């Protein structure tokens, strides 16, 4: 009964409402934010690299929809590669396919692996904070590769941030920063909640490697 004497409104509860803890809902919120950052990055890359979209033969919306994790669709052009291997393929000089597709599938794969490839979480589900932390470092490595990988003519394989007459364009850097922060924050939340430690690892520009997940 409410204070005004009226009965409480009926609310339909689903099993998922009952079986989720506050931590599960926090996990899902962080994951949804990460997935949104991935979609924004993919859209920016296609707009900055229209030749890659033309290779796909798809409209921008269709190309983005098939990249929504967990990525679905026919990715035969990726030669069965996933995760870090797909990212390396994006910067392979002999690769003639859609480099944005290869890059974003690889990045999405690594991030989803830190969530055990799940999109919904319940009380008995368990995430490893080390995987989330490693995923954040892998995102840093992927961002570094994007900004530095060049062909034999010295041209970037994929154009992202730039300096032009209108001033600096660092929108990619900001988006990557948000994506990394989401993973680092969640890694700390899970570590504190489960009383588990994280093996901290600092990447340097001379040794940017992909960590295991």
Q: Above 90 in pLDDT, residue 183?
A: yes
Residue 66 lies in a domain: yes
pLDDT at position 201, please? 75
User: 93-97, long-range: CB within 8 Å, 24+ apart, which pairs?
Assistant: 93/151, 93/152, 96/55, 97/55
Closest CA to 131 of 32, 212, 31: 212
**Is 126 domain-assigned?**
yes
How, if at all, do strands 162-164 and 167-169 pair?
A: antiparallel
- State the Cα–Cα distance between residues 95 and 183, nearest whole angstrom: 30
Nearest to 182 by CA among 1, 58, 84, 37: 37
Average pLDDT over residues 191-212: 81
**Average pLDDT in the 115-143 region?**
89
Q: Quick check: helix, strand or coil at residue 107?
A: helix
Which backbone phi and psi does 122 adopt, to 5 degrees? -130, 175
Average pLDDT score over residue span 190-197 = 90
End-to-end CA distance of the chain: 50
The helix or strand, by DSSP H or E, that contains position 164, with its residue range, turns out to be: strand 162-164
Answer whether residue 159 shows pLDDT above 90: yes
Instruction: Summarize pLDDT for 47-71 with one digit per residue, the tens.
Output: 999 999 999 899 999 999 988 876 6
Q: Is 130 contained in some domain?
A: yes
Produce one character per residue of 128-161: b if its CB has 16 or more CB atoms within 10 Å, e if not. Answer: bbbbbbbbbbbbbbbbebbeebeeeeeebbbebb
Choose between 203 and 39: higher pLDDT.
Answer: 39
Q: What would the mean pLDDT of 188-211 be, rounded to a whole number?
A: 82
pLDDT confidence tier of residue 77, bands split at 50, 70 and 90: confident
Mean pLDDT of 174-192: 94
Is 212 inside a domain boundary?
no
Percentage above 70 pLDDT, the chain: 81
In a domain, 5, yes or no: no
Domain-embedded: residue 33: yes
- The pLDDT score that the predictor gives to residue 89 is 96
**Cα–Cα distance for residue pair 98/96, rounded to 1 Å:** 7
Q: Which two tokens stand for residue 13?
A: 């509860």
Tell whether the model's pLDDT for residue 186 goes beyond 90. Answer: yes
Tell me, what's the pLDDT at 171?
84
Band of residue 73 on the pLDDT scale cut at 50, 70, 90: low
The percent of residues above 90 in pLDDT, for the chain, comes to 59
The mean predicted confidence, pLDDT, of the chain is 84
Give the C-alpha distances (Å, rounded to integers) separating 206 from 145, 148, 152, 165, 210. Answer: 12, 12, 20, 31, 13
CA distance 173 to 163: 13
The number of folded domains in the chain is: 1
pTM of the model: 0.84
Give the CA distances from residue 212 to residues 84, 85, 86, 190, 195, in Å, rounded to whole numbers and listed in that order.
10, 12, 15, 18, 22
Residue 105 is part of which domain span? 21-207
Could you tell me if residue 11 is inside a domain?
no
3, part of any domain: no
pLDDT number for residue 165: 41
């Amino acid at each position: 009964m409410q204070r005004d004497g009226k009965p409480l409104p009926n609310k339909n509860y689903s099993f998922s409402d009952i079986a989720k803890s506050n931590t599960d809902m926090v996990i899902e919120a962080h994951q949804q934010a990460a997935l949104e950052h991935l979609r924004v990055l993919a859209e920016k890359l296609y707009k900055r690299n229209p030749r890659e979209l033309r290779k796909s033969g798809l409209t921008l919306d269709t190309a983005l929809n098939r990249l929504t994790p967990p990525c679905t669709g026919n990715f035969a052009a990726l030669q069965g590669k996933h995760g870090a291997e797909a990212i390396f393929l994006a910067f392979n000089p002999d690769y003639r396919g859609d480099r944005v597709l290869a890059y974003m599938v690889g990045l999405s794969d690594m991030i989803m692996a830190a969530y055990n490839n799940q999109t919904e979480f319940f009380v008995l589900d368990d995430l490893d904070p080390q995987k989330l932390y490693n995923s954040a470092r892998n995102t840093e490595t992927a961002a570094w590769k994007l900004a530095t990988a060049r062909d034999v003519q010295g041209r970037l394989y994929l154009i992202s941030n730039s300096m032009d007459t209108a001033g600096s364009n660092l929108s990619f850097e900001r988006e990557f920063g948000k994506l990394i922060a989401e993973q680092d924050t969640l890694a700390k939340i899970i570590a504190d909640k489960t009383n588990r430690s994280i093996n901290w690892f600092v990447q340097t520009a001379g040794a940017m490697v992909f960590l295991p997940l």
